[in-house]
Amino acid sequence: MNAMNIGTFHIGGDLEVRRLGFGAMRLTGKGVWGPPEDIVSAQAVLRRAVELGINFIDTADVYGPGDNERLIRDTLRPYPADLVIATKGGMVRSGPATPDNHRSVIDNSEAHLRQAIEGSLRDLGVDRIDLYQLHRIDPEIPIEDTMGVLGRVQAEGKIRHIGLSAVGVEQIERARSSVEIATVQNEYNLGTRKHEDVVDYCTAHNIGFIPFYPLKIGQRAESEQLKAIAAREGVAQTGIALAWLLTRSPVIIAIPGTSSTEHLDQNAAAASNVLLSKHDMGVLDAVGGKAMA
């Protein structure tokens, strides 16, 4: 079992990645703060991802901060030639996140973004960042100005492609008036469907859509219809949630996160092997509550 037979997507038209990627955020300490407790097993997860054929890893400067990018660097360098690493910037975190306090503030100022990009270049150990995603839009700064900064850094050769995170269609359109937007990363899964319009927009414009929290389907995992499809396919409900995303649109690149090689193997197997019919998709749409989205 591997990720090889999952289709690919060309980020920004040139970086070809398999549509099952890996979200590295879980490989940090509690509250996404500091290094992981068990560095050896975190490194085993990253190495296994590459072994499985996964060639897209998502991280961010605030995961740690810095520890997650450095873990990727220290584990995987020299990087495989086809590995694409996406990071994010534009936020500052002051301590471990808790469910009711993310301990983060948004800062899209040019001074901060430039400092953050230099930090990510160093922490990832690269000369150019493959995909730089604006983690959150700063309400204090017009998005066109922020894109102007990222466009200049791109022209300087420090970032290859620009992506956005947690945005609506109007914000994507405003950003695209200044620079090419290669990807959008929003919360989206079988049960969280408020960004259907963004998925459709990205599909129409061939912009990569990277759903975050792809497996966070909550109590919908207990749906009898979902359980029946999972049993038929011989996978856990999370495997069906993953297959549903990959079937939903050809521009979706899924980045399930895990700190376990066993779960990583299960996710790769489900993404490779589960084939959902149109009828299954209809059943799952109803489970996920598309009508209420």
Ligand X SMILES: NC(=O)c1ccc[n+]([C@@H]2O[C@H](COP(=O)([O-])OP(=O)(O)OC[C@H]3O[C@@H](n4cnc5c(N)ncnc54)[C@H](OP(=O)(O)O)[C@@H]3O)[C@@H](O)[C@H]2O)c1
Give the side-chain half-sphere CA count within 13 A for 44.
11
Q: Which is nearer to ligand X, 178 or 266 (CB)?
A: 266
Binding site for ligand X (CB under 6 A): 23-26, 58, 165-166, 185, 212-216, 236, 238, 255-260, 263, 266-267
Q: Which is nearer to ligand X, 43 or 152 (CB)?
A: 43
Minimum distance from residue 228 beta carbon to ligand X (Å): 18
Alpha-carbon span 160 to 120, nearest angstrom: 13
Minimum distance from residue 278 beta carbon to ligand X (Å): 25
**132 belongs to the catalytic site:** no
Minimum distance from residue 19 beta carbon to ligand X (Å): 15
Q: Which residue has the tokens 């500091």?
A: 34
Phi, psi of 227 (to 5 degrees): -60, -35
Minimum distance from residue 218 beta carbon to ligand X (Å): 10
- Determine contact, residues 225/286, Cβ cutoff 8 Å: yes
Buried b (16+ CB within 10 A) or exposed e, 190-213: bbbbebeebbebbeeeebbbbbbb
Residue closest to ligand X when measured from CB atoms: 257
Minimum distance from residue 150 beta carbon to ligand X (Å): 16
Residues 63, 79, 132, 188: which is the catalytic one? 63
Q: Which is nearer to ligand X, 26 or 248 (CB)?
A: 26
Beta strands in the chain (DSSP E): 8-11, 15-18, 22-23, 56-58, 84-89, 91-93, 104-106, 129-134, 159-165, 183-185, 208-209
- Determine contact, residues 253/54, Cβ cutoff 8 Å: no
Q: Which is nearer to ligand X, 37 or 156 (CB)?
A: 37
Q: Which is nearer to ligand X, 5 or 41 (CB)?
A: 41
CB atoms within 10 A of CB 78: 7
CB atoms within 10 A of CB 101: 11
The set of catalytic residues is 63
